[in-house]
């Protein structure tokens, strides 16, 4: 080893050692927040980081991080926070934060705006499907390059449900840890009781089916709502109290693996209606029942997505002036090119 290699090794040893001189492992975990536009993703991240800032709209993909020490005089664990903006319009960006290098320590947080029930199933389906496909591609590659890690990731998600659980063969766990958060609880709480029951039961089923933790509560108080507990368990492996709150008339808190299909009950529809519905999986059946009450809204997030270059919060005078100049040059080039093509004489042969 060179002198420089020895110096680096010594610094790492000092930084990652506890009071007894033993090496302490520093954990790095990553969370990808996604969901409805204006659903509260940024607010949750800022509350987790204890930052008193006014949330700004997320236009594409944003990143920040936080640190936390497990105890005094020990290295701080690092939490990476990614946030996908644009609702379901920027799905291709999901592949940027989740890679083969960090998938082992990655988790997804799906934030759903409960004030827009007609958008819920579409948002859930699109975001989770694309994310799952991307993660599965990564796991397929890892099976060839690092099969032990791939096996560990798959087995870890199955372990959320004990083998003797009656639903073990009926669910399809998400490939990486997943937390589903229902936001805008103050508006949701004013809904008709039957509407709240249908939405709550459906979210319970979806969460249980994907092996996810579910929190439906006020965002403004993370500590009392259960959101902080669910995220801390994923980020820092905190041993939280496995409490349950399943009353549909109150905020919900159901850690992964603690619910069951028998407790959730059947889809909220009559037996005759269910008998007429064609579905190949329980998930398809719940989708049909839910969308009968809340028909999916026809909308296109992509049309509503603003161009970040035109957003005032990213304004930079020198850059904007240069961009305007380049736009003018581009338009001039287009005009000259069009003129040149028109003046060309083509040989008919």
| Tokens describing residue 128 | 């989770």
Q: H-type helices in 210-266, by residue range?
A: 222-225, 227-236, 261-264
Domain of residue 37, residue span = 25-293
Is residue 306 domain-resident? no
Is residue 349 domain-resident? no
Number of domains in the chain: 1
What distances in angstroms separate CA 212 from CA 176, 255, 288, one per listed residue?
Answer: 9, 7, 21
Task: Using 70 as the pLDDT threshold, list the residues of the chain that sit under it.
Answer: 1-26, 69-75, 221-226, 235-242, 298-314, 338-349
Is residue 150 domain-resident? yes
Is residue 250 domain-resident? yes
Is residue 138 domain-resident? yes
Is residue 280 domain-resident? yes
Is residue 123 domain-resident? yes
DSSP code string of 258-286:
S--HHHH-S-SS-HHHHHH---SSHHHHH
**pLDDT digits over 27-65, tens only?**
788 999 999 988 889 888 888 887 878 878 777 899 998
CATH number of the domain bearing residue 77: 3.40.50.300
pLDDT value at position 161? 77
Is residue 182 domain-resident? yes
- pTM score of the predicted model: 0.77
Separation of alpha carbons 196 and 184, rounded Å: 13
Phi and psi, residue 226, nearest 5°: 100, -15
């Amino acid at each position: 080893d060179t002198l420089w290699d020895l110096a680096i090794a010594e610094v790492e040893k000092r930084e990652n050692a506890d009071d007894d001189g033993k090496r302490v492992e520093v954990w790095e975990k990553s969370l990808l927040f996604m969901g409805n536009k204006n659903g509260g993703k940024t607010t949750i991240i800022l509350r987790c980081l204890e930052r008193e800032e006014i949330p700004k709209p997320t236009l594409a993909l944003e990143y920040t991080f936080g640190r936390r020490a497990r105890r005094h005089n020990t290295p701080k664990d690092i939490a990476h926070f990614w946030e996908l903006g644009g609702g379901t319009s920027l799905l291709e960006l999901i592949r940027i934060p989740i890679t083969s290098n960090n998938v082992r320590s990655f988790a997804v947080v799906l934030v759903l705006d409960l004030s827009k029930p007609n958008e819920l199933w579409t948002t859930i389906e699109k975001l989770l499907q694309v994310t799952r496909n991307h993660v599965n591609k990564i796991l397929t590659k890892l099976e060839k390059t690092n099969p032990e890690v791939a096996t560990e990731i798959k087995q870890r998600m199955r372990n959320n449900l004990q083998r003797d659980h009656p639903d073990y063969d009926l669910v399809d766990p998400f490939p990486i840890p997943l937390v589903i958060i229902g936001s805008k609880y103050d508006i949701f709480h004013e809904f008709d009781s039957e509407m709240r029951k249908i939405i709550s039961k459906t979210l319970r089923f979806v969460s249980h089916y994907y092996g996810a933790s579910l929190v439906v509560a006020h965002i403004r108080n993370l500590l009392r709502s259960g959101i902080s507990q669910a995220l801390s368990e994923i980020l820092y492996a905190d041993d939280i109290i496995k409490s349950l709150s399943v009353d549909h008339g109150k905020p919900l808190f159901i850690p992964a693996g603690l619910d069951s299909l028998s407790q959730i009950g059947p889809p909220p529809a009559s037996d005759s209606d269910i008998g007429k519905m064609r579905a190949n999986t329980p998930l398809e059946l719940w989708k049909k029942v839910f969308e009968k009450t809340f028909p999916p809204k026809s909308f296109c997030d992509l049309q509503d997505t603003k161009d970040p270059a035109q957003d005032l919060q990213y304004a930079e005078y020198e850059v904007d002036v240069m961009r305007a100049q380049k736009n003018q040059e581009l338009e001039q080039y287009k005009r000259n090119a069009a003129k040149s093509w028109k003046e060309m004489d083509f040989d008919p042969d």
